[in-house]
A and B are shown apart, each in its own frame.
Chain A
Amino acid sequence: MARYREDENFGLVVRRIVLGGLIVLCLLLVAVWRIDNPRIERLRAQVVEAIVPRLEWALVPLTVMTRMAGDFQSYSRLYEQNQQLRRELQQMRSWREAAIQLEQENARLLELNNVRLDPELTFVTGTVLADSGTTFRRSVLLNLGSQDDVRDGLAAMDGIGLVGRIAGVGESTSRVLLLSDSASLVPVTVQPSGQRALLVGDNSVAPLLEFVENPDQVRPGDRVVSSGDDGLFPSGLLVGQVALDRDGRFRVRLAADYGRLEYLRVLRAQPRAPVAPPIPVGEAGAAQPDGEAAPADTTADADAVPEVPPGD
């Protein structure tokens, strides 16, 4: 009996030690994550790299199956959809006409202005592997990584609009922080008026438009494009349309189809400002304006072009 008790005590002590050790380990990890964030995020990228591609065999069929089930449900609304599509098609025809006219006009104006479009802007297309967002963080994992020359900060788009930026790159996977994540901040331009503003994610489907220079000139329905002021994104990428929410704040209805993020394009801007060498801070600060000078030029040009048509 005494022996049994001893064993039990021993077990209890071991359990306490394990518990204490694990608590300390977790606290340490969180502390290190806070203090030396890049190192832990690199570790995270490696963990993701090690696990997610291996799950692809399960992830892909499951995703496809659920999506097919969703599509199947929509068969029941076939008639409605048909009607809706017809209406949309009609609208599109008129838009197409308008687009062709604008394209010709644009070509003429570009020639007049002698604008050189950035020829070094290439893109690489990847598949969305996984939705790594929890309720509170919005991000997806992409099957592109450093081996595809993907780097932190690059812009990711679906066919139409901006989706987010790369944050966290592994060898063959990378994470896209969506515009709706609360950590996402993107400088944008509201189109006809040319107002600068900041697109701030707040975990809702439509991010907030904040710090508008002159809110009177912004109207719901205005186009929102990236301004390129951060030196990360090229300017002029379509983001979405301005909308007013119930509290009277400006939000942006995103152009990208967030419901179906399947293929994303990562825009690889030319490496014009090579990543600043980790030497003197003062020098790096001085070097930055040089790096930003190039995008700033294109921004000015891009802004100048759309401003002409309204007067036309």
Chain B
Amino acid sequence: MIDGGFLQVWSYRALFLLLAGGLALVALLPINTAEPGIPRPDLLLCLVAAWTLRRPDFAPLWLIAVAGLVLDFLLFRPPGSWTLALILAAETLNRQAQRDADPTFAVEMVQVAAAVAVAHVVNRVLLVLVGAPRPSAGAVVIEILFTLLAYPLVAVVSVLILRVRRPDPQSGFGF
């Protein structure tokens, strides 16, 4: 039993890294070099949120940090800045998950919105503190909106296809 659980947890951790790598790959594709216009949703943040709320052991903080740091380096962000935002977002979500073990999806959306806001506020404060160049506020707001729009999709894929569900068997689907 312990062995089975162990194997499951680690294979999901590997899957998490794989998905993060896939997201990095998509971000790196040299397709749209001209249009800086529309911000893309931060799918890694969605993934972190969906998994942390359901199975925090599948996406532990250190694993999030590893994925975040590699992405920071690859996407030429100040290394560590967005990682910190991801970690703090994950931590807020984890606390909320402990308080309310089985929220409805509407409540979950509110929790995620709060976490996304925390991530962007932390990131911005940090960038202001070190005096690094930062994106315009409007673009950030649009990115937050897109991220929240993308979240239900990521959550559905996580639950139905990847079968990342709350361990509690009473809650049906585990949504």
Contacts and interface: CB of A to CB of B under 8 A. Distances in A.
Interface in A99-147: 128-141
B40 interface: yes
A34 B132 contact: yes
Interface stretch (B24-32, B46-54, B113-121): B24-32
* B contact residues, range: 35 or more
A131 B35 contact: no
A261 B29 CA distance: 11
Given A26-B84, A175-B76, A178-B33, 10 more contacts: A22-B61, A23-B84, A25-B80, A27-B84, A40-B79, A59-B25, A131-B28, A134-B77, A135-B135, A137-B76
A26 B81 contact: yes
Given A34-B131, A59-B25, A135-B143, A48 B74 contact: yes
Contact of B35 (A51, A59, A205): A205
A204 interface: yes
B147 interface: no
Contacts of A63: 29-31
Contact of A52 (B74, B77, B80, B126): B74
B65 interface: yes
Contact of A33 (B40, B62, B79): B79
Given A26-B83, A55-B25, A128 B61 contact: no
A293 interface: no
Given A134-B76, A136-B139, A203 B36 contact: yes
Interface in B30-82: 30-36, 38-40, 60-62, 65, 69-70, 73-81
